[in-house]
Amino acid sequence: MINTERSQRLSDPKNNDVIMRVWERIVHGGPCESDALRRLVTDSWQRCLHAQIDPFQPATPPALDSGSFLKLRERHAELLNSCRPVMQQAKDVLDQTGTVMILTDPQGVILSVEGDSCTQRAAENISLTSGQNWNELLSGTNAIGTALATGMPVQIHSAEHFCTQVKTWTCAAAVIRNPLDGRILGAIDISGLQETYTPNSLALVVNTASHIENLLCKQELYFRNQLLELGLDRFSRTQDGIIIVDRHGRPFQLNQHARDMLRDQGIGADLNLMSPIAALNIRMPEPDGNPPMPDWLDPDCVETVQADGSKIGSILTLPRSSSRLQYVQSCRKPPARTSQDGLSGPDPFHRIIGNAPPLRDAIDKARRLAITNVSVLLLGETGVGKENMVRAMHQFAENASAAASKADAAKSVLRPFVAINCGAMSADLLASELFGYVDGAFTGARKGGMIGKAEAAHGGTLFLDEIGEMPLGLQPHLLRLLEEGEIYRIGETRPRKVQFKLIAATHRNLQREVAEGRFREDLYYRISVTNILLPALRDIAEDIPLLARHLLQRLSAQYGMEAKTISDDAMALLCQYRWPGNIRELRNTIESMYLTSPSCVLHVKDLPAHMQAVPPGNGLMATPTATTTLGKLKANESQVIQHMLQSCSGNLTLVARELGIAKSTLYAKLNKLGLIDQLQKTRQDRHTH
């Protein structure tokens, strides 16, 4: 297994000529199959093909202008500061080696480049410079973009790149994760011309990423120690409740008074289960604006703590006096929205943007299944927003738990949410992450052992993303866990009882995987007790204008730049495009347009090149016919579509099928003919009856 995993991670220059011939075949429409190709390269090439990237001239946006780049560096100042000694060392160590070290943000935008000066000049010829975006869906297969897309360490050599301009280069990259929550903060990469290839570059970037994560962790501990020094002396001098919250909004210390007061209000006080308080996140403001304080917390009770001129966290004081406590309770904000099931608290599903019937049907089904104990399997293409749906289901269940526990104030209502990507790590690493291990279980095991993700999810939700990628050898262990409700940490003989709601997701056809022997049939039936199909973006094209406007609002808040809109012509092309990368591709496209266009209105010329022309066959008539027939069709087009809307009760999928056109084309026609109001009325009539 180890040798197989190693061969998947490392490039083999001996295969370069064979891989180049395979690439020449697939870019001209041939099959993407060869024993010389690693699976991660094959998958990446397929993503590039679906994104319609031109391998000979990728639509890479220009580098950020100086103002936007400065704001981006300010936003990632903490990462840059932690990486500064590493990048400075790279400047010295990599000099004369023909390689450079590159630091990027989570989207693949280069923040810093250091290393061999001659290689830096050569890198400018392929836009491997600060401010350039090397996201895989913009620049094709490359170590930076592919590492960020998969979350795995990646080495890409020469012919394995998707685009011709970088096929003379070799590169290796690893993601940098937040040591607290595992969120990807960026990537570290080593690149050079193909003659500089060495398998050791992959180990170097992995170790460098680990070193940076350790520096970030030490910095976090330093700030927390400062907070503790300032806050702990209050613990013994007051009858009030004291909660110490770090700069990310995570409570990490509280006294017994605070524990009792939270419990009296029906709020769980287990620090391992408490969710971050978004309103107190100093480091990462919400893109949608300042989030509200929790209902139980009065803003007057919050003291922001500073050290050396920087905000390092908060200290919350919950007054003990009954009069003050009543005042705090009276100041609670009413819930933003009540769910249709009558549960208290905001409806978490409102964050899922869209009104198309297939999406609303999926949300309605998710809402019903969220409060059951059965396993749920989410099906959908890559990029349709499966994790957003899972998080909404978890929060909905948590709200239901809160409503049910009002009669029992001592009952905790905060439930853990634990996610793990089954396709983002090796089999051995996935086993240790999922099941945990005891002290000394294997070489390199953490002292004291480690709790597994399945055990950490006890009482809450375990989300297994890309479960179709789970190695076959691990599947019987997962099946036993689900059947018996028991988990064995690696190296342990005593079982531990666990109970959680399982939600799994995949973009693969698991029935086909079962038939071909890559997925266990018994596990498939165990995880797919119920399933939810999330529609592809091309099937809910009527939601694209709404999604685009929402994304533009978020980008304006995120980057602190002017609000922008999209012209009608550009929006029409967005609605007609098939979006193989779904919402993720739409988000990347809108962000690229937003950052690269100097205008406050985004036009057709701001779209990626492959979107600027309507694809063949996307019109109502793919082939010209007789002039008289064409004239009749144009004259009766509105009447025909209105009739079909009525007969199909507003179901656009059925209408498109009956007319023999793409659903995105139908929606563009509705826009052009002014029939959107007719569509909404038809749907309202259907629901009324």
Residue 426 banded pLDDT, cuts 50, 70, 90 = confident
- Give the H or E element holding residue 101: strand 99-104
pLDDT average, residue stretch 163-174: 95
SS (H, E, C) 332-399: CCCCCCCCCCCCCCCCHHHHCCCCCHHHHHHHHHHHHHHCCCCCEEEECCCCCCHHHHHHHHHHHHHH
Write b or e for each residue in 149-180: b if 16 or more Cβ atoms lie within 10 A of its Cβ, otherwise e: bbbbbbbbbbbbbbbebbbebbbbbbbbbbbe
For the chain, give the percent of residues with pLDDT over 90: 37
Residue 251 banded pLDDT, cuts 50, 70, 90 = confident
Q: Tell me: the pLDDT tens digits for 26-49?
A: 888 887 777 778 888 998 998 998
Domains of the chain by start residue, with CATH: 2-218 (3.30.450.40), 238-333 (3.30.450), 361-533 (3.40.50.300), 537-611 (1.10.8.60), 627-688 (no CATH)
Per-residue pLDDT, 342: 46
By C-alpha distance, which of 189, 185, 187 is closest to 219? 185
Task: Tell how strand 376-379 and strand 530-533 pair up.
Answer: parallel
Amino acid at 11: S
Note whether 103 and 147 are within 8 A (CB): no
Handedness of CA 143, 144, 145, 150 (dihedral sign): positive
Q: From residue 49, how far is each of 27, 140, 162, 163, 609 by CA, in Å?
A: 8, 9, 9, 11, 15
Least confident of 203-207, 229-233, 324-328, 365-369: 324-328
pLDDT at 204 over 80: yes
Question: Rounded to the nearest 5°, which phi and psi values hold at 3?
Answer: -65, -40
- Map tokens 């031109």 to a residue: 54
pLDDT at 154 over 50: yes
Per-residue pLDDT, 59: 63
By C-alpha distance, which of 187, 182, 184 is closest to 419? 182
End-to-end CA gap in the chain: 59
Query: Structure pTM?
Result: 0.50
Note whether 314 and 304 are within 8 A (CB): yes
Between 298 and 594, name the one with better pLDDT: 594
Amino acid at 183: R
Per-residue pLDDT, 108: 94
By C-alpha distance, which of 317, 680, 360 is closest to 533? 360
**Six-digit token pair at 664?**
């995105």
pLDDT, averaged across the chain: 81
pLDDT average, residue stretch 461-475: 92
Least confident of 69-78, 125-134, 444-453, 677-686: 677-686
Between 645 and 457, name the one with better pLDDT: 457
What's the CA angle centered on 299, arms 298 and 302, to 5 degrees? 105
Q: From residue 639, how far is each of 130, 632, 633, 652, 666 by CA, in Å?
A: 54, 11, 10, 16, 14
Least confident of 26-30, 165-169, 501-505, 668-672: 668-672
Per-residue pLDDT, 283: 62
Q: From residue 235, how far is each of 231, 243, 256, 311, 317 by CA, in Å?
A: 7, 9, 9, 21, 10
pLDDT at 481 over 70: yes
3-state secondary structure of 578: coil
pLDDT at 518 over 70: yes
CA dist., res. 214 & res. 222, Å (int): 12
CA dist., res. 380 & res. 357, Å (int): 16
pLDDT average, residue stretch 502-507: 95
Note whether 246 and 224 are within 8 A (CB): yes
Query: Is 291 buried (19+), middle (13-18) or exposed (0-12) by CB count in 10 A?
Result: middle
Note whether 103 and 78 are within 8 A (CB): no
pLDDT average, residue stretch 451-466: 89
CA dist., res. 192 & res. 206, Å (int): 17
DSSP secondary structure, 286-331, as one string: -TTSPPPPPTT--GGGEEEEEETTEEEEEEEEE--SHHHHHHHHHT
CA dist., res. 516 & res. 507, Å (int): 16
Q: From residue 25, how far is each of 169, 296, 433 by CA, in Å?
A: 21, 62, 39
Between 8 and 607, name the one with better pLDDT: 607
pLDDT at 542 over 80: yes
3-state secondary structure of 486: strand
Per-residue pLDDT, 331: 35
- Give the H or E element holding residue 208: helix 200-235
- Map tokens 């009065």 to a residue: 298
Between 344 and 212, name the one with better pLDDT: 212
CA dist., res. 681 & res. 294, Å (int): 39
3-state secondary structure of 426: coil
Query: Is 269 buried (19+), middle (13-18) or exposed (0-12) by CB count in 10 A?
Result: buried
Residues 6+ apart with CB under 8 A from 675: 638, 641, 642, 645, 669
pLDDT at 413 over 50: no
Note whether 576 and 617 are within 8 A (CB): no
Query: Is 20 buried (19+), middle (13-18) or exposed (0-12) by CB count in 10 A?
Result: middle
Note whether 244 and 277 are within 8 A (CB): no
**Six-digit token pair at 555?**
């980008």
